[in-house]
Amino acid sequence: MIQNPYKRILLKLSGEAFKGDRDYGIDPSFLTYVANELKQGFELGAQIGIVIGGGNIFRGISAAANGMDRVTADHSGMLATVMNALALRDALENVGVPTRVQTSIEMKEIAEPFILRRAMRHLSKGRIVIFAAGTGNPYFTTDTTAALRAAEIKADVIIKATKVDGVYDKDPMEHSDAKKFNHLSYMDVLKENIQVMDSTAISLSMDNKIPIVVLNLTESGNIKSLLNGNTIGSKIGD
Ligand code: GTP
């Protein structure tokens, strides 16, 4: 029998994905879909931490490029991740998965502050923990947040959920001859400047020896299949 090598996972969800078919905001049917995909992994006994982006609501880098102060823009982006986190928490609880949200910027009326030991306790009690508000600092992406929280909770893997089934040498949506990589080293990604996660996130994962699996979340059953020990998507590691 194949063994699940990943007992504790850190899932990185892009905020953009939350839009579903919309131009902006949150598509409730996508939330329900994601909640059910996660429920399948959760029912296999995996401990699950989640980091979500905020790009469906506010994209800090684009706002900064359009003249907004970068720090202000990043603060707004971090607030957008909290909206996504609250929406996902409710979707998960609606399908019966106990979930807690912790924020890196204190807003106690809305959610618990990020306290690592408390997050670990939630995970060990069988609750999904959503880490919201990025690292709490401007200039850091939610990919970097995912690598940081993964190291802190000692995750066995970072799962980067996307709309494509792995990492390609060029955009598979635009190039029919794009080649998929099954395995890449961290250095390959950094040296070739492959656009999977930003370089800070890749470096942090490399330094802490946390593998990254890039998979297609829109294909139902992929998370469950990965946690059942199957090879899914592309893996970045040593
Ligand atoms: P245990 O202590 O393991 O039972 O965890 P718990 O999260 O079930 O209990 P706790 O009493 O800490 O929290 C009860 C509920 O209140 C949970 O939904 C928490 O997420 C929420 N909660 C806890 N602390 C805060 C906070 O500072 N702010 C907000 N808004 N909610 C909180």
Residue nearest to atom 10 of ligand 1 (CA): 112
| Cβ(106)–Cβ(113) below 8 Å | yes
Which residue, among 144, 126, 127, has the nearest Cα to 135 in the 3D structure? 144
Residue nearest to atom 32 of ligand 1 (CA): 112
What's residue 42's pLDDT? 95
Q: How many CA atoms lie within 13 A of 169 on its CB side?
A: 6
How far away, in angstroms, is 112 Cα from ligand 1 center?
7
pLDDT averaged per 10 residues in sequence order, the chain, 238 residues: 84 93 93 97 96 93 87 96 98 98 98 98 98 97 98 98 92 90 96 93 98 96 95 95
What's residue 2's pLDDT? 62
What's residue 1's pLDDT? 55
**SS in 3 state form for 77-120?**
HHHHHHHHHHHHHHHHHHCCCCEEEEECCCCCCCCEECCHHHHH
What's residue 182's pLDDT? 96
Looking from the CA of residue 100, the nearest atom of ligand 1 is 20
- Ligand 1 mutation target, pool 112, 122, 123, most atoms within 8 A of CB: 112
Give all domains of the chain, ordered by start, each with its CATH number: 8-236 (3.40.1160.10)
| Cβ(204)–Cβ(144) below 8 Å | yes
DSSP assignment string, 27-43: -HHHHHHHHHHHHHHHH
Q: Which long-range contacts (CB under 8 A, 24 or more apart) does 29-32 make?
A: 31/87, 31/88, 31/91, 32/91, 32/94, 32/95
